Each structure stands twice: as C-alpha cells, then as structure tokens.
Amino acid sequence: MWYGFPMKQNALMDKVKGEDLEQLEQWSRGHGTPQQVALRCRLTLAAVAGLSDVAIAGSLKVSRHTVALWRKRVCDDGVGALWEIAPGRGRKPEYSAAKRDGLIKATSNNLPQGQTHWSCRSMAKAHGVSKNTVNRLWQLHNIKPHLRHTFKLSRDPKFVEKLTDVVGLYMNPPHKAIVLCVDEKSQIQALDRTQPGLPLKKGRCGTYTHDYKRNGTTTLFASLNMLDGKVVGQFHARHRHQEWLKFLRHLDAQYPAHLALHVVLDDYGTHKTPVVQDWLAKHPRFVCHHIPASSSWLNMVERWFRELTDKAIRRGAFPSVAALTQTIDDYLAEWNKAPRPFVWTATVGEIVAKIDRARKKLEAIKPGSTLPTRRKKRSG
C-alpha cells in the first residue's frame, strides 16, 4: 500500500546518487540542521538503502504515510525539498524566496571587497536586510563563512595501493598478529604561563594568560594497538633514526615473540634509513605498511594524539620538560586502565569516491594541482 503515491520501490535509488547521498549524510549529522530536516534525511537514506516503508516507519517512529510522502517529494523535487517547512500561523517571511536564494548564493559565490569572508553585518549591509535575517538564513542552511577547515589531497602515485593495504588491515586484520599504528609526536612544547590563571567557578570559565614561556621540548613515540586500544609510549629528546630504532626495540620487547607485528606508519625519512632497514630485515615479524603521502588521517594513532592534545596538553602549564612528560605519562596510564579502541568503518570504495569528487572540483579550479607526482632521482 502506497497511501495514494503509486511508486516503484527503487525509484528513489535511481534519483538520489553520488553528491546527493553525501549531502544527506552531512545534513543528517550536522549540528545546525533542524531536527525535522535531520529526520527526513535519515528517512530518505533508509529508503535509498532499500528498506520498506514499514521498516523505516518502525525504526524512526513515524507513520508510513510520512515515509511515503517524503519518498515522493524527494523523487519529484530532489533532496532540497527536505528543507521545506510548511508555513504556520506565525509571522510570514519578510523577503521573497528569490531574495533569500540570492543572499545564499552571494554568500557562497562572492566575497566582500578587501575581506576574506562575509559577516552577518557586512552581508546585511550589502543586501539591504537586517543582520538577524542573515543570521537566521545561515543557520537554516548550516552556512558558516567564518569557519574554514584544512585539508590536502594526497598526490602519492601509489595512493590507492597503499590505501587498500592499510584499510584492509584495519577491517580484516590477520590471525595470530597484532596491528600497531605507530608515529612520533615531535617537538611537544613545555609551555608555562606568565601568570597563574583563575579557576573555573559558577558563572565564569577558567582563564589563563595569552602569553607564555618556552621551557623546552620533547618527542613522544607512540604505538596504538588496534585490537584493544592500548598505547605504548616512549619519550626522546630528538626524533632521528637512532631514537626510532630504540622505540622499535621497545615494541619488540612488549609483545610475545610468536606474534607478527603489522606496523602502520608514514614515510618519514627516519623510518626508512639503511640502518633501520637492516634491523627490520633481521626481525621479520615486523611487517611495515606505509600510508600514502599527506594522509596522516589514515594512521589511527593520530586520532589518539588528538585526544592527548585536547585533554592533557593544550590547556596545561608546564614549568619544565619533566613536568610535561609526567603529565603525558599520567594520561597514558589512565588511558590504558580502560582503553577504547578506535574502529575504522570507511571502505576503500567510499574513500576513493569522495577523493575523486574533491579532485574533480579542485582540477576545475586549478588544473594539475592534484595530479600524482614522482620524486626526482638525485643525479651523481
């Protein structure tokens, strides 16, 4: 029964593909997405996945009529229809739909003279509306001109090959082996504030001075066990191949000798020196899996480094390197009391498809900027 909407079950699958699917995923998880729109996005994603109206209605706690209605709306008008909110008895829009659409397009396609991005006030002045109107529209469409995320597409000629190797290791680890994500967090600064900060209290956040004193640096070599989430760490003043070898020997002593150690690491120079290669040849249980260049996001220990930075380092005050290393040691000990493994879920196909879409857009802006590059061999 289709409740007045005669439609084939697979009609939505043919309509919603590629970038529309990615947009639906983003809207469904976006902090600025209205709840009713997020619900419609989840409903549509479930429909695209092939679930029946009855199954979708049961899982999302809505009526089958609602499911059929939005299935038809998306098929007829596209995913943009999910943002349409029925008019109520309240205040009617002050500006026409064309005016609002023009403001949204101007935010994305134009820049204010001599500035890098729009503010609510500059956009309101340029288009003759109030700043509150601009703010409401930006919130409705989850537009944040003041934010910009950093990224870089890998230009490694063996990107797909290395990606497949590492993701396969995460999603289907070998038997009688341990998968370790290894890297060094170099040049961690022991920063101390020039004055003591005020503590957190009711009605006021904690404070610390904007300026600081540098009291030295240290390098943390760390290994994340993908199975149980435990982390092994070691501090060194420098990060040469000598220190890297010391850490490999430390790892060798940490795990039973009969288990193979599959190590995920980057292509940093100290990881590939002749001395290191000779040591690895004499210790065949170490199997190295190199991530592509400019793809640190693929090494899961970087995710743990973010936890460490956010929760133990960024807001700390360290009068010495010893105080810094002690703080990190304390965090490491607490983490290993109840470790939480990070679970990799993205498939190779999903990652490659997303990167290909980004590459096409960047190539349209600047041809050749994302093409694979090969290192030039040194002559002589």
d(CA 25, CA 20): 9
User: Do 254 and 133 have their domain in common?
Assistant: no
* Residue 20 falls inside a structural domain: yes
User: Do 124 and 232 have their domain in common?
Assistant: no
* Residue 17 lies in domain: 11-83
Which pLDDT score is estimated for 356? 93
CB neighbours (10 Å) of residue 51? 17
Q: Is 128 left (phi over 0), alpha (psi -120 to 50) or beta?
A: left
DSSP E strands: which ranges in the chain?
Answer: 177-193, 212-225, 231-236, 260-265, 286-290
User: Do 122 and 25 have their domain in common?
Assistant: no
User: Do 74 and 213 have their domain in common?
Assistant: no
User: Do 136 and 259 have their domain in common?
Assistant: no
* Residue 6 falls inside a structural domain: no
d(CA 260, CA 66): 54
Q: What is the pTM of this model?
A: 0.72
In angstroms, how far is CA 334 from the centroid of its own chain? 25
User: Do 163 and 201 have their domain in common?
Assistant: yes
Which pLDDT score is estimated for 277? 94
d(CA 366, CA 346): 28
Q: Using pLDDT thresholds of 50, 70 and 90, give the confidence band for residue 89.
A: low
b/e map 347-379, b = 16+ CB within 10 Å: eeeebeeebeeeeeeeeeeeeeebeeeeeeeee
Instruction: Tell me what the mean pLDDT of segment 219-239 comes to.
Output: 95
Q: Using pLDDT thresholds of 50, 70 and 90, give the confidence band for residue 164.
A: very high
Give the model confidence (pLDDT) of 91-133 as tens digits: 566 777 788 888 888 998 888 988 999 999 999 999 889 999 8
Instruction: Tell me what the mean pLDDT of segment 281-287 comes to.
Output: 94
d(CA 312, CA 332): 10
Tell whether the model's pLDDT for residue 156 goes beyond 50: yes
* Residue 342 falls inside a structural domain: no
CB neighbours (10 Å) of residue 291? 24
* Residue 151 falls inside a structural domain: no
User: Do 224 and 316 have their domain in common?
Assistant: yes
Examine the fold and report which residue of 43, 58, 83 is the final residue of a domain before the chain moves on: 83
User: Do 126 and 49 have their domain in common?
Assistant: no
- Total domains in the chain come to 3
User: Do 193 and 326 have their domain in common?
Assistant: yes
